[in-house]
A and B are shown apart, each in its own frame.
Chain A
Amino acid sequence: MGVDIGNATTEVAIGKIEAEQEFNFIAEGEHQTTGLKGTEENIKGIMNALQQAVQEADLKLEDLDLIRLNEATPVIGDVAMETITETIITESTMIGHNPSTPGGVGLGVGKTVMITELDSCSAGEEVIVVIPAEIDFAIAAENINEGLARGIEVNGAIVQKDDAVLIANRIDKQMPIVDEVKFIDKVPLDRKAAVEVASSGGTIQELTNPYGIATVFDLDADETKHIVPVARSLIGNHSAVVIRTPQGDIEEKRIPAGKIIAFGESGKEKIAVDQGAEEIMKSIEKVQPLKDVKGESGTNVSGMLERVRSKMKQVTGQNLSDIKIKDILAVDTFVPQEVKGGLAGEHSLENAVGLAAMVETSQLPMQQIADALVQELPEVEIEIAGVEANMAISGALTTPGTDKPIVILDMGGGSTDAAVLTQEGNIHTAHLSGAGNMVSMIIETELGLEDFDLAERIKKTPLAKVESMFNIRHEDGTVHFYDEPLAPQLFSKVVSLDEGELVPIPTDHSMKRIRQVRRDAKKDVFVRNAVRALKRTIPTGNIRDIGFVVMVGGSALDFEIPELISNELSNYGVVAGRGNIRGMMGPRNAVATGLVLSYLNNPRWN
């Protein structure tokens, strides 16, 4: 029996020697890895997977002769996100949010006046009325009409509740009305403001144009330069309010996120995180092979890197100073963040860098696990056998249609591991940071989900849009009809298809956008890592020199990651695909299978 403890899953395979030098695989089992890989907590998961397998084989645990544990690759990865820009509105100069139903149409300019103070305005004055939630829309409309009758030029309205259309329908003049302004008490009064609502289907034109804003507020050339971020942030909106206050400003700041210091065999590179992923990766490649990576002390990056280190210390009991970071993967992303000083809870997309770091130690304490397992199963012999990469290759080669030279890409949750078996029978390995967990993190942050499980679900399942009470449209455009009406809470929602079950995704993002984010995240992590892994493991460094790439591990089960990688690698003339261990197990069970098979090459049977 072979037991493979992975970062996420523990897999087992039971083989029986039928004839001489011939194994017959009789059962498999798998269970979520309990605790961090390489700790005694793993026992629970191992036992569960074992039970599952022996039951399937109609055996008892005592019937097992030998259990071979993998000598797990001692790598642990962690991920983090650093925001590197931030948008701050000082003195509340603009409201760039997108209520679903603004009222009226056009551009209105005037001085902001509380609706209750409209009485004190004189004829001919140009005003924008501000209507808080406690004022009923009917009364507000009446007040506006009275004001208009008295000759006050009411040119627009800013409303707290979702009442814009209701007011627009009840007043005697067409004017732009923006509603659902959450923090209406923050709207400065007695200031010049511009309100714009686009005609149906259109986007605003004047307030997205710096010169448009300059015209409205009589700005000089210098001031116009300052309002560019305002104009930019409003692009694509259906409605907007801009209010000019004396010190009012909006700025996009770069946050100093700290520096990464990469120590390589051939020197040292220092790179600021806010330079972005591209520059970070270039520096890392420059100093390959990496010896260690540190963060500038006192910064967020250093905090993150230290976290990975201390996690590893827990597992291995090694000194912090002995734990080295051997790889980093940086990816550029965006994080929607609430704008500081905003009035309507508006968000702006800030630049961020996602980082995955991976540490390697000398060895995980597998012997402790083996000892603990003996306690559980005193009748069974237990041994630690073989390097994980060799076992994985041996297992992967059971995939029909493969041959040397072969590369296996083991794509898990925490790291992407590669091993190459050359024509001559030599094995080279590489461990890269960045895998499934990083994809989930990118999805979580780019869509602003604040829910890792939801991000995992989006990563793992295709999307559909509920189009009516009876049908959904899959992301590939095909339509599926249901006999029974769907639940109302699903209506018009984007859903994930979890084994046929429709689970609504609680965001306003379109299906197209979610799909794009998901696929880009997978490309940024896995396709990037596949190429990096091949370049590092293949002795010549040339991807064309390899014949076969077999993808194994949890992320190879993904419905699109293997396709994305196959696609990229076909550019190099490589056969790449999802493994099918023993012609039946799919990309699962490679190491467990290898552990069983390798026994034949090294029999200690007595």
Chain B
Amino acid sequence: MTTQNINGNKPMIYIFITSDYKDSELVAHIGYGIEEEGIPFKTFVQEKNNSQELAYNAAQNSSLGIGLGVTSEDQVVLQMAKLSKENPVFNKTLNSNEQAKKMGSNAARMVKGLPFKSFKSEE
């Protein structure tokens, strides 16, 4: 399924980001969401600046078939390998760390086959 293996064949969710997101809190919170669900993940900085493209590539490369792409203005796309580039699972502008964590959870829950968490705040 994978075209190129960046990190061997370990089952992981891949997050592809642009360089300006290297130290982003938002991306960190996506990671926390994935970690809380107990799924390994790895973040890679990429050249391209198109979140759909990044997510698509991330999903294609992840041996779990799940990838996220983050680009400017907190645009986050969650993608799975079997879906087309134009029709990702989620394509969303995140407006809080809480939402970022949920996006991460949902990526992981996709792997676990659990229903997604709603992005709406619980309060």
- A492 and B37 form a contact (CB under 8 A): no
- B82 and A470 form a contact (CB under 8 A): yes
Give the segment of A38-46, A159-167, A429-437, A451-459 that binds chain B. A159-167
- A166 and B36 form a contact (CB under 8 A): yes
- A492 and B38 form a contact (CB under 8 A): no
Distance A165 CA – B104 CA, assembled complex (angstroms): 14
A-binding residues in B (CB < 8 A)? 32, 35-38, 80, 82-83, 87, 89-90, 105, 109-110, 113-116
- Which residues from chain B contact A493 at a C-beta distance below 8 Å? 115
25 contacts between A and B (CB under 8 A): A100-B114, A101-B36, A101-B38, A137-B32, A162-B36, A162-B105, A163-B32, A163-B36, A164-B36, A165-B36, A165-B37, A166-B36, A469-B82, A469-B83, A485-B87, A488-B90, A489-B116, A491-B110, A491-B115, A492-B109, A492-B113, A492-B114, A492-B115, A492-B116, A493-B115
Is A169 an interface residue when CB atoms closer than 8 A count as contact? yes
Known: A100-B114, A469-B82, A485-B83. 17 other contacts (CB 8 A): A101-B37, A137-B32, A163-B32, A164-B36, A165-B35, A165-B36, A165-B38, A166-B36, A469-B89, A485-B82, A485-B87, A489-B116, A491-B115, A491-B116, A492-B114, A492-B116, A493-B115
- Which residues from chain A contact B90 at a C-beta distance below 8 Å? 488
- Which residues from chain B contact A467 at a C-beta distance below 8 Å? 113
Distance A165 CA – B108 CA, assembled complex (angstroms): 13
- Which residues from chain B contact A169 at a C-beta distance below 8 Å? 35
- Which residues from chain A contact B38 at a C-beta distance below 8 Å? 101, 165
- A488 and B116 form a contact (CB under 8 A): yes
- Which residues from chain A contact B109 at a C-beta distance below 8 Å? 492
For B110, the closest partner residue in chain A by CB is A491
For A163, the closest partner residue in chain B by CB is B36
Distance A470 CA – B87 CA, assembled complex (angstroms): 13
For B33, the closest partner residue in chain A by CB is A162
Distance A100 CA – B112 CA, assembled complex (angstroms): 12
Interface string of A158-186 (1 = CB under 8 A from B): 00001111100100000000000000000
Distance A166 CA – B32 CA, assembled complex (angstroms): 7
Distance A168 CA – B35 CA, assembled complex (angstroms): 11
Distance A101 CA – B112 CA, assembled complex (angstroms): 12
CB distance from A187 to the nearest CB of B (A): 19
Distance A489 CA – B90 CA, assembled complex (angstroms): 10
Distance A101 CA – B114 CA, assembled complex (angstroms): 12
Number of residue pairs spanning A and B whose beta carbons lie under 8 angstroms apart: 42
CB distance from B20 to the nearest CB of A (A): 23
Distance A73 CA – B105 CA, assembled complex (angstroms): 57
CB distance from B89 to the nearest CB of A (A): 5
Residue from A100, A137, A169, A489 with most neighbouring chain B CB atoms (10 Å)? A100
CB distance from B76 to the nearest CB of A (A): 13
- Which residues from chain B contact A164 at a C-beta distance below 8 Å? 36
CB distance from B120 to the nearest CB of A (A): 12
Residue from B36, B83, B105, B116 with most neighbouring chain A CB atoms (10 Å)? B36
CB distance from B2 to the nearest CB of A (A): 18
CB distance from A529 to the nearest CB of B (A): 36
For B78, the closest partner residue in chain A by CB is A488
CB distance from B86 to the nearest CB of A (A): 11
For A490, the closest partner residue in chain B by CB is B115
- Which residues from chain B contact A165 at a C-beta distance below 8 Å? 35-38
- Which residues from chain B contact A163 at a C-beta distance below 8 Å? 32, 36
Known: A491-B116, A493-B115. A469 touches B80 (CB 8 A): yes
CB distance from A473 to the nearest CB of B (A): 11
- Which residues from chain A contact B83 at a C-beta distance below 8 Å? 469, 485
Interface string of A467-497 (1 = CB under 8 A from B): 1111000000000000001001101110000
CB distance from B42 to the nearest CB of A (A): 16
Would you list which residues of chain A between 95 and 110 have a CB under 8 Å from chain B? 100-101
Distance A548 CA – B89 CA, assembled complex (angstroms): 54
CB distance from A602 to the nearest CB of B (A): 60
Distance A166 CA – B37 CA, assembled complex (angstroms): 9
- Which residues from chain B contact A469 at a C-beta distance below 8 Å? 80, 82-83, 89
Distance A492 CA – B110 CA, assembled complex (angstroms): 8
- Which residues from chain A contact B87 at a C-beta distance below 8 Å? 485
CB distance from A73 to the nearest CB of B (A): 45
- Which residues from chain B contact A166 at a C-beta distance below 8 Å? 32, 35-36
Distance A468 CA – B87 CA, assembled complex (angstroms): 15
For B28, the closest partner residue in chain A by CB is A138
CB distance from B80 to the nearest CB of A (A): 6
Distance A137 CA – B38 CA, assembled complex (angstroms): 16
Distance A163 CA – B105 CA, assembled complex (angstroms): 11
Would you list which residues of chain A between 163 and 216 have a CB under 8 Å from chain B? 163-166, 169
Interface string of A492-508 (1 = CB under 8 A from B): 11000000000000000
Distance A163 CA – B115 CA, assembled complex (angstroms): 19
Residue from B114, B115, B116 with most neighbouring chain A CB atoms (10 Å)? B115
CB distance from A46 to the nearest CB of B (A): 44
Distance A170 CA – B38 CA, assembled complex (angstroms): 13
For A485, the closest partner residue in chain B by CB is B83
Interface string of A127-165 (1 = CB under 8 A from B): 000000000010000000000000000000000001111
- Which residues from chain A contact B80 at a C-beta distance below 8 Å? 469
For B115, the closest partner residue in chain A by CB is A492
Distance A489 CA – B118 CA, assembled complex (angstroms): 9
- Which residues from chain A contact B115 at a C-beta distance below 8 Å? 491-493
CB distance from A352 to the nearest CB of B (A): 28
